[in-house]
Chains A and B, each alone.
Chain A
Amino acid sequence: AQTVTQSQPEMSVQEAETVTLSCTYDTSENNYYLFWYKQPPSRQMILVIRQEAYKQQNATENRFSVNFQKAAKSFSLKISDSQLGDTAMYFCAFMNRNQGGKLIFGQGTELSVKP
């Protein structure tokens, strides 16, 4: 069974600074995706960034980038130039491409961006 672990329940960062959220996962599969989702207080889950396991290049989306270490089963999210609107819960998630598209989520990291 796959598991996803986020070891930082809470983090805070000053506006305009950079923060890194950690995630590790466990799987014996080779064909999978990894995701970071953002869940603001309104509760709707929003996709931040996606990484395909067979791609060595780390994904980037504007101020968001990942450090994907496949051998170490590590998938951290870096947020540059943090903005107040980045305040939210962040979830790391795993999807086995051969298992119908269901997501396995970590416990979440609550990020606070302070002015």
Chain B
Amino acid sequence: DTGVSQDPRHKITKRGQNVTFRCDPISEHNRLYWYRQTLGQGPEFLTYFQNEAQLEKSRLLSDRFSAERPKGSFSTLEIQRTEQGDSAMYLCASSLVYAGGNGYTFGSGTRLTVV
């Protein structure tokens, strides 16, 4: 297992199109997190899953955003009707429930550009 994988690395899309990103966590990690990072800022929490259950969603996650984690393995983050303000790096991370932060592993991110 080589860590947290995100696909694609880069995505350019036209405003109004839908996009979907995928995250493959470390296989034994039962928690999976999504963050958004805009240029020059720290990551902002979007949502997290414990196994297949989505346990928390940030106010940042508007109704155009949806995330799933079927069967508690990989996760997808979909953005419908993209807007220029959605341009950002989308980071995925995974951990064990009781890792206390030590086992928190980030992926390399998907950079979204909406034109």
Spell out A's residues near B (CB within 8 Å): 4, 6, 33, 35, 42-47, 50, 52, 91, 93, 95, 97, 99-108
Contacts and interface: CB of A to CB of B under 8 A. Distances in A.
Contacts, number: 65
A50 B100 CA distance: 9
Closest 6 CB pairs of A and B: A105-B42, A45-B106, A102-B45, A44-B108, A33-B101, A91-B42
B43 interface: yes
Interface residues of B, number: 27
Given A91-B42, A107-B41, A107-B42, A101 B107 contact: no
Interface of B: 31, 33, 35, 40-45, 48, 50, 55-56, 89, 91, 93, 95, 97, 99-102, 104, 106-109
Contacts of A102: 33, 45, 48, 56
